[in-house]
Structure 1
Amino acid sequence: MRKLLTTTSIIVLTLGILLGVADRVGAHLAEQEIAKGVATQLASRNITSAPPEVTVTGFPFLTQVARGNYDEIQVNLRDLKGGTLPLPLLEAHAYDVRASLKGLSEGTEKAIATLVTGLGTLSYADLVQESGLTGMTLSGDGKNLRMTGNVGVAGELRGAATVTVIDGKVRIQVIELTASNLSGPAQQLVNSYKSKLARTFSLPPMPFNLKLESVSPASTGLVIGVSAKEVELG
């Protein structure tokens, strides 16, 4: 009896391992096919980025394949370029994705997501460089953009700005900018820095018809939120 139980346990364990391997292999195949479709879509829209990284989440994967519906697929796009500011990384999450593995591999189906949301972070260093804000350091407190730096005759410069979304672009409006020295030439320099920062910046072209919905000045950079509904992934 003990021997039978041991044998049964080994068989169950072996089957579990084989199913796990098969599940992961199937997920990998789907990830490859979806990545190809995403890359094709990016190329057709002249969107420049590193090769897309696709991860199918959820377990068991084979159950999702059987019903032709995937709970969530993550698509990471790195080094998006083309706007005023580059986007180092866009993390997109596609939900309720419909497509069969057979249709994807044969090219007869497109993966369609009910909803896609994404987050990306714009670098403060890129913003400083693009704006020509020599000597300035930018940071965020979750509400406002903060500016500090030493700028020649004006001495120490400090300020704050709001960041909003206007017509699919990032708009920065200075609400405060002061310097330790506000003599004639220094005031002109302060005004110059104010005009350099008070601008509207465009982002690189977004895949999947993603629309810019939000922007927040975080400690790591300007965090953007994008979304789209009924999206063709590739």
Structure 2
Amino acid sequence: MPITPILRPTRRRTLVAGGVAALLLTAMAADRVAAHQAEHRTARAFRSATGTAELPDVDVRGFPVLPQLARGTIDTVDVSAHDIPADSVNRPLPITRLDVRLRGLSAPEDGGEATSRTARATAFLSYGDLSRSLGFPITQGREPGSVQADLELPFGGAPLTLVATPKPGPGNSITFADAHLVGGDHPAAADALLERAFRDAIPLKNVPGDLHLRGLDVTSTGLSAGFTGQDVTFRRA
């Protein structure tokens, strides 16, 4: 008659604990794979909407992810994209970096549309790109919240400093308020130059239309633009 081995309680607990640990590791690995796939699909949808050359960095926040995907909505997703090109011929102002926090993101199909219940974003616009768009060099102004341009009038004219305050404009554009010349008396040509320099708004292209420009901060290296939006959809550009 065969003898059935008797497992000691300690060994039995060890086997049970090992089995539970293996199941947990398998579940965690499956969840991580699902998160990676969701990140890749979101990155493709975002690139399609903004025209970036490279896929943005995407981080699905929170654990576990599989239950979120099962209900079709991801709680929180962070997206960081670089070098978003503009498509305006007259005022080409690309976005150097765009950081977006999405809440309530519908699980996107691969490369398709993705919709977020709410979104907050910060875009960085370098002075180099801003200068190329305006046609003259722009730096942080000496006056709070301002930018300035140090120019010279043609034919040996005296140096001029043009100062203006960037403000959010309609249609996700940048306008310039309180434009003025710094210094003493200036010829009429200087007034004409000032009027032309800050007359037109600069549109920010390839920002999803459901994101709305709320504020602009002037920093030492460029402008920081804040956006918010509800029911933000990333569509193919």
TM range (shorter): 0.7 to 0.9
- Asked if structure 1 preserves the Cα contact closer than 8 Å seen for 2:211 and 2:229, the reply is yes
Displacement after TM superposition at 1:172 (Å): 0.9
Displacement after TM superposition at 1:191 (Å): 5.1
- Asked if structure 1 preserves the Cα contact closer than 8 Å seen for 2:162 and 2:194, the reply is no
Q: Does 1:33 align with 2:41?
A: yes
Residues 137-170 of structure 1: per-residue CA shift (max 9 Å, x gap)? 4116895223264636424x44532221221211
Q: 1:183 to 1:166 in 2, by over 3 A?
A: closer
Tell me the residue number matched to 1:97. Answer: 105
**TM-score in terms of structure 1 length:** 0.73
The number of equivalent residue pairs is 218
**TM-score in terms of structure 2 length:** 0.72
- More helix by percentage: 1
Of the three residues 115, 118, 121, the one matched with 2:121 is 118
Give 5+ residue unaligned stretches, structure 1. Answer: none
Tell me the residue number matched to 1:225. Answer: 226
Matched residue type, 2:229: A
Of the three residues 50, 59, 64, the one matched with 2:63 is 59
Tell me the residue number matched to 1:72. Answer: 76
Tell me the residue number matched to 1:167. Answer: 170
Tell me the residue number matched to 1:146. Answer: 147
> Percent identity of the aligned residues?
26
Tell me the residue number matched to 1:197. Answer: 198
- Asked if structure 1 preserves the Cα contact closer than 8 Å seen for 2:167 and 2:216, the reply is yes
Tell me the residue number matched to 2:189. Answer: 188
Tell me the residue number matched to 2:87. Answer: 82
Inter-partner Cα distance in structure 1 for 2:39 and 2:143? 35
Inter-partner Cα distance in structure 1 for 2:113 and 2:52? 21
Displacement after TM superposition at 1:177 (Å): 2.2
Displacement after TM superposition at 1:37 (Å): 3.5
Displacement after TM superposition at 1:98 (Å): 3.2
Q: 1:194 to 1:154 in 2, by over 3 A?
A: farther
Displacement after TM superposition at 1:28 (Å): 0.7
Displacement after TM superposition at 1:66 (Å): 3.2
Q: 1:141 to 1:13 in 2, by over 3 A?
A: farther
Matched residue type, 1:76: S
Displacement after TM superposition at 1:182 (Å): 4.5
Displacement after TM superposition at 1:202 (Å): 1.1
Name the larger-Rg structure.
2
Matched residue type, 2:230: K
Q: 1:119 to 1:132 in 2, by over 3 A?
A: same
Q: 1:154 to 1:74 in 2, by over 3 A?
A: same
